[in-house]
Structure 1
Amino acid sequence: MRAIVVDDEWLALQKMKKLLEEQISSDYSLELVGGYQDSYSAIETASKETLDLAFIDIEMPELDGFELAERLLDVQPNLRIIFVTAYHEYAVKAFEVNALDYIMKPVHHDRLTKTLQRMIDSGNTGIAANKGTNRTMLCCLQNLHYVDQCGDTQPFPWKTLKAPELFAYLVHYRDKTVSKQSLIDLLWPDYDTEKATTQLHTAIYQIRKIIKTAGFDLEIKYKDEGYRLIWGEMRLDAEEWENSVRQLPPISSESVEKYQSIMVSYTGDFLEEHRYQWIEYEQERLRLIWLDPVKQLAEYYASLGQYTDAILLYQQIRERLPFAEDGYFGLMRVYDKLNYQLEVRKQYQLISDILQEEFDGEPSQELTEWYLEWSKGPN
């Protein structure tokens, strides 16, 4: 393990270096790359040398320990941070920066030994912990779960109710910073500030632990009073599904299997089973993307006289998008071909009642004109 020490107080810096040198002479494979009183010198070293571990004093001029940690992590994301402080109140904030540990001053040999052992146990010594995670896929269609590198579906072992919602929210807003206050207002609106903050920190810690255990190429960063989920090589089922829809060729006998595959792979709406209110817009957006290939497939089946297959798809459209005319109108036209007159009238009445009740509106001109023209026939 290659380590640096940063402390603006010369005596404290020398003591920390001496304690680490004692560890080097014992059983730990540790190399002390350097000790710095100046934060910018530490950043310069990190830009040139591969480091595993940084012991950082929090109370420093110019750049405090938290700012320095963020800068170092920007240069070397796998670097493990251990904060050294004389103040207990910094402990919680230390973990917001994804610190491995914090040590209270004055530092003692036994306490440092425990920290180094934790470093070894963590299994992350600068080697990319997420090697090969591009085969892992996070799944948000229907419910939140993941597929591991062996292709097996795995649930998340959540210990609190709000942690999965927080994780899902950060996934939805991946690579964007979400303010701490926004998260508290969303998930713990009825808690006082101190209790809500504690709950948030607990959930963040749990998510970080799950990310690490599962081997996800994801990272949560704390900066500017907010959290950002850094997205690496991780796959997301909803994103891959959406891309596959956008790459579909026109429907034909050669491409119909691709359309059928799109249907099968859309296992449910985005986080459908979790019923998070904030996700409704994303659910509707994906439903509308889903609608186009399903309509094309249903029309293709109807053109071949495969009316049962077409009816099943139009019924799915009606169930998934109950306020859209597409499912009802499609069923009306198929039922017309089958001469199911009562069913045609029933579908028109259903969509008329829904639009009137929900929006004080009526069916579109196209649908109304089709129905009126149909009504003039020998029905």
Structure 2
Amino acid sequence: MKTVIVDDEHLALRRMEKLLQEEGGSRPALELVGFFQDPHLALELVKREKIDLVFLDIEMPEIGGMELAERLLEIQPHLHIVFVTAYNDFAVEAFELNALDYLLKPVQRDRIIKTLQRLNHSEAKGMSDMTDKKPMLCCLSGLHYLDDHQAAQSFQWRTLKAQELFAYLIHHRGQTVRKEVIMDLLWPDYDMDKASALLHTTIYQIRRVIKQKGLGIKVTYKDEGYRIELDGMKLDVEEWEKGVQTTSAVTPETIRQHRELLILYRGDYLEEHQYWWSEGEQERIRLIWLDHAKQVAEYLMQEEQYSEAVPLYQKIQEKFPYTEDGYFGLMKIYANIGDYSGVKNQYQLLVENMKEELGVEPSEEVNDWYQQWRHCI
């Protein structure tokens, strides 16, 4: 969690830095990326880089802490603010700004710990909120949306080109895609006039479907191209990736959030549609899922929660049949529960797949573990 400290007093700044460094390995883990006595420099950093948390002194010359907080939140609305002050007169005003916490100087270590606990709770609440209440546009598995009741709803497209263009604009959300690029993608064999007419018709279809569904999404024409504005509507792949990045490591306190993340990942990015232009992003998201799933599966195995760990390792194996992770995890679990044939079957399956598809043997780590296991049974 990227963290910034702002305090015009050098000694106070360094004391807060020391306290956070001592507690930064806790949950949530902190990455201290900025220490500023000049609030203008903090503003410049937040304009350039995504920041998660700011510890902010209230009494500062030039820009007071309250004003600085408002300006920071205008740039990054989801930023967490923790006010630090020598006086308690500002507490009500601080929490009216929806501050995460309010600390009195000199700040004590146990009070920092409570702040981090509050931060962890806030992040957990955010994860719970992202799967309910509001409609959400979905690209994981297939293109659809969730309504107010979180029921999956499909789009009724008149043509496959309309569906693909809608997906393509979402893929490039926040960017203007030039008309020529779209026409070359969807109608490469048509002349310019015919392709342009088809593009206009397809855009009309997309706008009509969006309006019929009552969604706040906008498709606008600007700078000789089209762009899509989600207008505050959440996108499942963005919410999922943000959750993976911000949720603390898997522990008894955070396992519920990690389970929610696994549920939210309903399938690979646009996998149902097999668009060639989405393959790079699809693989990037898949690898993030793999790393997250491995972390959760390893935790479940260590906690001997095999009924959850086994199907998760099986899913890893299904999605990534030419990596060792799923096979090796299942081998360890089967060894722990005394299923000797299960260990042997997984190892043999791994050997066959690696040799047939990649022409290699399992890694030295897996082979050494398997040979040691055989000698112990």
Whether TM exceeds 0.5 here: the answer is yes
**Equivalent residue for 1:174?**
173
Which deviates further from its counterpart, 229-238 or 354-363?
A: 354-363
Q: 1:323 to 1:226 in 2, by over 3 A?
A: farther
**Equivalent residue for 1:312?**
311
CA distance in 2, matches of 1:141, 1:266: 7
**Equivalent residue for 2:107?**
none
**Equivalent residue for 1:230?**
229
**Equivalent residue for 2:160?**
161
Partner of 2:272, secondary structure, is helix
In the TM superposition, residue 219 of structure 1 has moved relative to its aligned partner by 2.7
Higher Rg of the two aligned structures: 1
In the TM superposition, residue 149 of structure 1 has moved relative to its aligned partner by 4.2
**Percent identity (aligned):** 49
In the TM superposition, residue 161 of structure 1 has moved relative to its aligned partner by 1.4
Kindly tell me the number of residue pairs found equivalent between the two proteins.
245
Q: Does 1:142 align with 2:141?
A: yes
Partner of 2:227, secondary structure, is strand
The 5 Å alignment of 1:230-309 reads 230-309=229-308
Q: 1:175 to 1:332 in 2, by over 3 A?
A: same
Amino acid at match of 2:317: R
Q: 1:186 to 1:373 in 2, by over 3 A?
A: farther
Partner of 2:322, secondary structure, is coil
In the TM superposition, residue 192 of structure 1 has moved relative to its aligned partner by 4.1
**Equivalent residue for 2:351?**
352
In the TM superposition, residue 321 of structure 1 has moved relative to its aligned partner by 1.9
Q: Which runs of 5+ in 1 are unaligned?
A: 1-133
Contact 1:180–1:225 under 8 Å retained in 2: yes
Amino acid at match of 1:365: E
- Cα deviations across residues 247-284 of structure 1 (Å, max 9, x unaligned)? 22222222222222112222222222222232222222
The 5 Å alignment of 1:199-238 reads 199-238=198-237
CA distance in 2, matches of 1:335, 1:372: 15
CA distance in 1, matches of 2:188, 2:371: 52
CA distance in 2, matches of 1:373, 1:178: 57
Contact 1:136–1:235 under 8 Å retained in 2: yes
Contact 1:287–1:321 under 8 Å retained in 2: no
Q: 1:226 to 1:351 in 2, by over 3 A?
A: farther
CA distance in 2, matches of 1:311, 1:149: 34
Question: What is the TM-score of this pair, normalised by structure 2?
Answer: 0.59
CA distance in 2, matches of 1:150, 1:305: 35
Q: 1:147 to 1:311 in 2, by over 3 A?
A: closer
**Equivalent residue for 2:331?**
332
Partner of 2:338, secondary structure, is coil
**Equivalent residue for 1:322?**
321
**Equivalent residue for 1:21?**
none
Amino acid at match of 2:277: W
Q: 1:192 to 1:368 in 2, by over 3 A?
A: farther
Contact 1:335–1:344 under 8 Å retained in 2: yes
CA distance in 2, matches of 1:190, 1:319: 38
Q: 1:355 to 1:203 in 2, by over 3 A?
A: farther
Amino acid at match of 2:239: E
- Cα deviations across residues 94-149 of structure 1 (Å, max 9, x unaligned)? xxxxxxxxxxxxxxxxxxxxxxxxxxxxxxxxxxxxxxxx9332111222112234
Partner of 1:138, secondary structure, is strand
Partner of 2:346, secondary structure, is helix
Q: 1:204 to 1:362 in 2, by over 3 A?
A: farther
Amino acid at match of 2:328: F
Q: 1:173 to 1:365 in 2, by over 3 A?
A: farther
Question: What is the TM-score of this pair, normalised by structure 1?
Answer: 0.58
Contact 1:135–1:148 under 8 Å retained in 2: yes
Q: 1:277 to 1:352 in 2, by over 3 A?
A: farther
C-alpha RMSD of matched pairs (Å): 2.4
In the TM superposition, residue 182 of structure 1 has moved relative to its aligned partner by 2.6
**Equivalent residue for 1:107?**
none
Q: 1:193 to 1:353 in 2, by over 3 A?
A: farther
Partner of 2:218, secondary structure, is strand
In the TM superposition, residue 315 of structure 1 has moved relative to its aligned partner by 0.3
**Equivalent residue for 2:197?**
198
Q: Which runs of 5+ in 2 are unaligned?
A: 1-132
In the TM superposition, residue 172 of structure 1 has moved relative to its aligned partner by 0.9
Amino acid at match of 1:227: Y
Q: 1:210 to 1:372 in 2, by over 3 A?
A: same
Q: 1:356 to 1:257 in 2, by over 3 A?
A: same
Amino acid at match of 1:298: A
Amino acid at match of 1:361: V
CA distance in 2, matches of 1:191, 1:363: 50
The 5 Å alignment of 1:119-130 reads none
Contact 1:302–1:310 under 8 Å retained in 2: yes
In the TM superposition, residue 330 of structure 1 has moved relative to its aligned partner by 0.5
Q: 1:362 to 1:204 in 2, by over 3 A?
A: farther
Amino acid at match of 1:366: E
Contact 1:139–1:236 under 8 Å retained in 2: yes
Q: 1:173 to 1:364 in 2, by over 3 A?
A: farther
